[in-house]
Amino acid sequence: MKGRITHPPDSWQRLQGLTSARIALGRSGGSLPTHEWLDFKLSHARARDAVHCDFDFGRVENDIANLGLKTVVVDSGAGNRMTYLQRPDLGRLLSADSTRVLREFNCQCDLVVIVSDGLSALAVHTQVAPLLANLIPKLEKQQWTLGPIVIARYGRVALQDEIGKSIGAKIALILIGERPGLGSPDSLGAYLVYGPKPGNTDANRNCVSNIRPEGLNHQNAADTIYYLLKESRARNISGVALKDTRRMLEGPRVFEGK
């Protein structure tokens, strides 16, 4: 284009096709080229928008109902988005009304699945339904007893302990929006804990992260989550004591170049 300043290619430019990380961006004097700077600002804006995005729990409830699953909506102690962001501790607690609602179920099930907006409602809006569509049939085939899908507004990861304890589940699995990265505002995380109860620490949990088409796709994420759930139920453990040993059992993989 006439008048546009061109810059010499970066020697690492060929690596850009192998990663979404910001590498080989080039230089304009001592700074980034304008188009790369603007792309950075756009990604930053998208990450901020994901954090402040309103949780459309009605949409998520409808998507889950279309899978033939029952749902119940609860609230954390935060009550609203701003309080949730400023008081992480309240996001780990159920509201009093929600505690009463869940205790009425008291279903003594193998697993309760919780869906919460976390730090990216966008991730929940886009990733939860296809993930559950891959995961639930695996559980049903092995005759897992499931509680209703609990949709929790303004929740943090540890909310799974209060919910799991209240509903009487052996294992709690929470699907929650992860803290957005500059290239991943829609990334979902999955955390499971055996014997959910207040006082559990992150050492008691297993995490499967970066669930999105550009990261760990829905089918592979469902396979990994199901493996961990199956091992957790069989061995009565979770967290640092539970590892994904599938590749170790399969042996090393051999990759051939093109």
Q: Nearest-CA neighbor of 30 among 53, 11, 3, 7?
A: 7
Residues 246, 258: Cα–Cα separation, whole Å: 27
Amino acid 63 reads D
pLDDT at residue 153 in the model: 95
Report pLDDT digits (tens) over 6-40: 656 666 777 777 777 777 777 777 787 888 878 87
For residue 99, give every residue at least 6 positions away whose Cβ sits within 8 Å of its Cβ, in sequence order, or none: 162, 166
What domains are there in the chain, each with its CATH number?
Answer: 52-240 (3.40.50.11240)
pLDDT at residue 47 in the model: 80
CA 146 to chain centre: 20
pLDDT at residue 11 in the model: 67
Q: Nearest-CA neighbor of 238 among 161, 124, 184?
A: 161
Report pLDDT digits (tens) over 98-136: 999 998 887 889 999 999 999 999 999 999 999 999 999
Q: How many CA atoms lie within 13 A of 135 on its CB side?
A: 29
Residues 54-70 as b or e (16 or more Cβ within 10 Å = b): ebebeebbebbeeeeee
Cβ atoms within 10 Å, residue 140: 11
Residues 155, 74: Cα–Cα separation, whole Å: 10
Cβ 132 vs Cβ 188: under 8 Å: no
* pLDDT higher than 60, residue 254: no
Average pLDDT for 58-86? 94
For residue 176, give every residue at least 6 positions away whose Cβ sits within 8 Å of its Cβ, in sequence order, or none: 114, 115, 116, 117, 118, 124, 155, 156, 157, 188, 189, 190, 191
Residues 164, 197: Cα–Cα separation, whole Å: 7
Instruction: Look at 240 and 46; give whichever has higher pLDDT.
Output: 240
Stated pTM of the model: 0.84
What six digits make up the tokens of 162? Answer: 């209060």
